[in-house]
Chain A
């Protein structure tokens, strides 16, 4: 792997491309022009563990280098994109809206100064860890995915923005499957760090893989005896990290400027008085140390910030990007994020943080006569922004009974309406923990951080 790094030279080269296209936008009559250029090297190393032995199941390097051009032209927004090696493709797209036609810069065939990733996998396979993970009477299988990404991004616009943001990091994910007589149980664990890169000691990565794999195996085996309980209505306590995932879906997406300005039924309901009696504080914080969504400047070149969304249970803020705030130059909250150069930015979360509350964890976990659902990990969720209907699935949960029973549950599903569920938020503890996840919106995936303490919702419907 070539590791020659010349970040300054690369940045200058990319800024030159961005300035060319931004200048062409202006020359062709655009009221506003923004050019975003990126060069990436993403590595994925997959591994499967079967019968106690590890085998690589995928080794992929993905290179991407291209430019995305956003124009405000004749009172409309226009976006086009092309690989750096094929600038004439962007010129052709632009010629469809600006008949005078742009000047095409020289093609850049290949940039090799982006650093490569570390090579942890052979060490993991050689370390004899797979046998340890699978030790025990209950058969177990594992699938591990390691992603490392290195991205150089620059953005230039006609308002004077000229920003460069190298982004790197890594993510490890594990799914373990415990095999029973007539059923299987899966669990999912993950860990990611924005500072994982070419300089990270291999031993640190191996240790991390070992930790998430052992955790996944333990959880999967614990879920094998889980039962099907049907429909219940009980208090629901969300463990640290899980609450932020729920609030990100119920509130976070609703306050993204493009959704907020649709004035949907959900937005109207949320702005019509306090969301809950509990002293809920919710912020979007681009500066969380170690947060996978942390950023210095967003993908529009605007500074990342901390934006208060909910204060003392009342909705007070929203997330914007440059396009949503236009023409107000100061109106962006620095939340413009995009998956890659082929898309324009959208208002997106960076790190969703639920602030610590006044309650003790023990009090929040008190079990009423009807029992209590304790959700350790939410796996995925979706909300219909217009109506506020949501569905969440929890891969791992426990039904707690007044007598001290603790029944493991898998595939718990929570369905409800956002406004009614938020009203039932009754307690927030102070044991904040963090997680990093992938968030999807309009076909674009970005990594975000989720931070929250233990939280309790009264009288909530769930199915298992």
Chain B
């Protein structure tokens, strides 16, 4: 795919130079090229790259008020009209306050976030396929079942973003997003099942293939174990190991709660695992050196070791009383075509901080409940109160292998209660991308299932 800056990126720089005295003008624009590769029986077929539109956010500020315009195309021809309209809109503008940044400006290391090897994809894709086949065999041997990959679909996105200000030189960064979707076949005796499983990363060579296949193989084995059984076997209590994909869904609910209800009371007290937002996470699908207001990004504890949240701030709507003390955390995010920048997470994960919080959650050798699917977490964003609820479909693992289907758990708790119940998490550098942020795809161990389930 081409590295040449598209016209919209050049136009961003020219528009930012058009500010009048007393005006501050910013332009943020991004462009994404997408290409699909398919690997079937080792044969690679690569599609052509398709470059999408370049949605552009223009901010004009004057006399302490700011207004934002979204346009789906910015060029030398369209820029004057856009700027004139922004000036007309200023009378509806929101107040803003400039504030100091929490994080220092950091260099953006392309080598970490951009997969330059995919310029010529045949070699990396062939190596990826070899690693997939080897991992499938190893996972199958470990679990005592046959695991094979019938098909692989690789979606490669090259994302480029420019931020230009009337009083600074334009800044830019690039990021590669790789999604590997595998069609995994699991066989046990005469029975077999097929399912799709996926992982995301910045570089294809760093995708956690063995982890992906372990989760897929266990899910497949659960399907085979459920065949012919009308009622799932009920297991009471004990440890619950949540798979990577359900963990990502859980973290999404927790992060949304902290951002959507910033003023909700959060009980203080030591936590062993904290919720971390890291805009520089390796493998992060929303990694970036600066946010949509141009503020430098970094790593911030969303809920720290004492259980207290960090208040995420953007310039707009910052209360005057708080302006002196608040610092910009680099979490400004403006959904395309919809809204002005607002605080949103980037890449959210878990980190152990307290005693006994080692990274030891893993399916190998585990005996207990395995949570392989979450249901209902998508309905939890618009809530009246503090309690989060969702269902978890489970199976029973014995020494790391599926021993039977488990009961469906109805999990309920506040953010605090759910975090308190975490015993351990696995290391990991894969993140599941949602619309506006990503969440870590890791194994999570809850010591006691009863601490999670619903009770009056």
Binding site for B on A (CB under 8 A): 1-2, 42, 44-46, 48, 50, 55-66, 81-86, 89, 92-93, 96, 107, 109-110, 112, 119, 121-122, 141, 177, 179, 182-188, 220, 223, 226, 228-231, 340, 342, 379-382, 384, 389, 391-393, 395-396, 410-411, 413, 415, 463
Contact = CB atoms under 8 A, between A and B. Distances in A.
Main secondary structure, interface of A, reads: strand
B317 A56 contact: yes
Contacts of B380: 393
Interface residues of B, number: 59
B53 interface: yes
Q: Which of A110, A112, A230 has the most CB of B within 10 A?
A: A110
Contact of A60 (B82, B265, B340, B384): B340
Contact of A185 (B53, B75, B385): B385
Contact of A396 (B70, B261, B384): B384
Contacts of B410: 231, 415, 463
A167 B377 CA distance: 34
B141 interface: no
Given A58-B342, A59-B93, A391-B390, 15 more contacts: A44-B339, A44-B340, A46-B94, A57-B316, A62-B70, A64-B337, A109-B75, A226-B385, A382-B376, A393-B389, A410-B383, A411-B384, A411-B387, A413-B376, A415-B376
Contacts of B436: none
Contact of A1 (B68, B89, B267): B89
Contacts of A44: 338-340
A118 to B, nearest CB: 11
B149 to A, nearest CB: 23
Contacts of B94: 46, 55-59
Interface string B254-286: 000000010111010000000000000000000
B337 to A, nearest CB: 5
B379 A379 contact: yes
Contacts of B391: 391, 415
Contacts of B32: none
A410 B389 CA distance: 12
A57 B261 CA distance: 16
A89 B75 CA distance: 14
Contacts of B86: 61
B92 A59 contact: yes
Interface string B290-314: 0000000000000000000000000
25 contacts: A44-B338, A48-B317, A56-B92, A57-B316, A57-B340, A58-B316, A59-B89, A61-B69, A63-B71, A63-B72, A83-B73, A109-B81, A110-B82, A122-B91, A179-B263, A182-B267, A183-B385, A186-B384, A187-B384, A382-B376, A392-B379, A395-B384, A410-B385, A411-B385, A415-B375
Contacts of B72: 63-66, 83
Contacts of A112: 81
Contacts of B378: 380, 382, 391
Given A58-B68, A380-B381, A96 B48 contact: yes
Contacts of B426: none
Of A46, A63, A96, A226, most B-chain CB atoms within 10 Å: A63
Most buried by B among A188, A340, A391: A391
B382 interface: yes
Contacts of A342: 53
Given A50-B319, A184-B263, A463-B412, A231 B337 contact: no
B95 interface: yes
A63 B379 contact: no
Interface string B318-341: 010000000000000000011110
A109 B68 contact: no
B78 A59 contact: no
Nearest to B80: A110
Output the residue of B77, B316, B383 with the most chain A CB within 10 A.
B383
A328 to B, nearest CB: 31
Contact of A188 (B261, B264, B382): B382
Nearest to B414: A183
Contact of A379 (B53, B88, B264, B383): B383
Contacts of B265: 182-184
Given A46-B339, A60-B338, A141-B263, A93 B375 contact: no
B168 interface: no
A413 B379 CA distance: 9
Most buried by A among B48, B50, B73: B73
B340 A58 contact: yes
Contact of A59 (B263, B340, B375, B456): B340
A184 B456 CA distance: 19
B389 A411 contact: yes
Contacts of A110: 77-78, 81-82
B119 interface: no
